[in-house]
Structure 1
């Protein structure tokens, strides 16, 4: 099932993609006599397997009863990020050997390192499919990073890699937009410590985490460690890889983070990007560029770059 959050009037609703339409699962469940479903993705995920089963039944009802007005053509729907404001938006740095190699770094054995995890402010960085990637007056080198996003479905604390998949509701696409030359205020001296925070702060600008178009549930994603992943800018392919290139797999990532952070339903973890970033090519995003991210069994996330309003 491919779950979405879509705009209906002035409010968000949860739906499911059915063919080339979106089924309003809240209305469909009500019309079919099913359980009351929330219009919020996090609240739906908090219902657990019961909620997902009810959502799937509602989507089937909408499909079988097209005259009930429960289906809306996708082209007429404004999609929001599947989880518009996750409690936590975590991300991994350097989780593809190919990306480390292009930056002139060595991919060490797992026993010699641990995942490199950081956060992006969820309430301001999350951006919707079709939303504009903002270029601010402080922008110097805005770059792209297509990433597979893990969406947590159950509260997870200190889980094992063997059990971690049971806590994953599904997967989405995250474009970890990054400012590579972060300069907001001049300084007379730059130390290595400053460089780290420049890198980190360059992940934080508003709108720098486009996400979507949907949440593909774990039972329909196939093997999350064998998905084609691609990004293009204005039709030119920049990144073309497979999630099998990750150093730490999805289960290992969830297990590791859960040792020191309680993961909650709706939390999103971006799992790192493969080779092909603009920094290495000397290509930065500019106003008018169209960035298209694709991951197998999830879909397409497309955003245009625009001047900040």
Structure 2
């Protein structure tokens, strides 16, 4: 499935993109329709993407059932009723999960991008991943939303990344079991300001440059994501996916996830 959060008439809904990417199915409305026909209570986890993902396999099964029923009803001719189904071109796609609880990122996870920035990959780059966080409440935005460039910015940079969407609560998980907790995958642009200085200083203290780098990582709107989450059952090998980055319609970057260091 291709799962989305979309906005229509001032409200957000969780949907699935169907009919050769032409139709958005409102999963909450579709489930309610099925509940009426099956004389059962409607599910309560379709209110937002975080609630949906947190409900795990039960929610995924309910979504697949709704998608199957909708596709059988639509047949070969995509059409929208404006209630349960909408044309994709008529809705505004938000970030698939607009308000994730956490957003972990890896710095320098592609050799190509290290070299694009003028660096050289060393043996140490393959020893330990460099993990940092972005505040999700202010950085996460949709793929077609504008990226806000602050007045103090001097060198805005882009990094197309595979975003791994966790679908279950996890802590202390063994590496061999990690993929069992993944609900799906999307794409993120890790936007950075490479030369950010909060204030000019006469001299640098130890680690000042490190914090300058961090400040350039968590600017508002610096984590565009989407357009949708592709569920794991449709991704045969997450380590063989092409990712391209476009800036104002121009391709600036192209990588394959096979080139990931981690």
TM-score, structure 2 as length reference: 0.88
Residue aligned with 2:246, SS: strand
Equivalent position to 2:161, from 121, 141, 147: 147
Q: What is residue 286 of structure 1 aligned with on the other side? A: none
List, as ranges, runs of 4+ consecutive aligned residues in structure 1 with deviation greater than 6 Å. Answer: none
What is the distance in 2 between the residues matched to 1:13 and 1:145?
28
What is the distance in 2 between the residues matched to 1:192 and 1:237?
38
What is the distance in 2 between the residues matched to 1:15 and 1:232?
25
What is the distance in 2 between the residues matched to 1:109 and 1:183?
27
What is the distance in 2 between the residues matched to 1:240 and 1:162?
29
Q: Which consecutive unaligned segments of at least 5 residues does structure 1 have?
A: 249-309
Q: Is the 8 A contact 2:189 2:245 kept in 1?
A: no
Q: What is residue 12 of structure 1 aligned with on the other side? A: 12
Q: Is the 8 A contact 2:157 2:194 kept in 1?
A: yes
Q: What is residue 59 of structure 1 aligned with on the other side? A: 67
Equivalent position to 2:172, from 155, 158, 161: 158
Q: Is the 8 A contact 1:62 1:70 kept in 2?
A: no
Equivalent position to 2:140, from 126, 134, 140: 126
Deviation at 1:171, TM superposition (A): 0.5
Q: Does residue 105 of structure 1 match 2:120?
A: yes
What is the distance in 2 between the residues matched to 1:224 and 1:176?
19
Q: What is residue 191 of structure 2 aligned with on the other side? A: 177
Post-superposition Cα deviations, 1:134-178, rounded to whole Å, max 9, x if no partner, equal 112111111111100000011111112211110000001110110
Q: Which consecutive unaligned segments of at least 5 residues does structure 2 have?
A: 75-79
What is the CA RMSD across the aligned residues, in angstroms? 1.8
Post-superposition Cα deviations, 1:35-77, rounded to whole Å, max 9, x if no partner, equal 4142211111111111001011112222333476421111111
Q: What is residue 79 of structure 1 aligned with on the other side? A: 93
What is the distance in 1 between the residues matched to 2:243 and 2:113?
13
Q: Does residue 24 of structure 1 match 2:26?
A: yes
Higher relative contact order (CA 8 A, sep 6+): 1
Residue aligned with 1:133, SS: coil
Q: Does residue 211 of structure 1 match 2:219?
A: no
What is the distance in 2 between the residues matched to 1:178 and 1:55?
36
TM-score, structure 1 as length reference: 0.75
Deviation at 1:114, TM superposition (A): 1.3
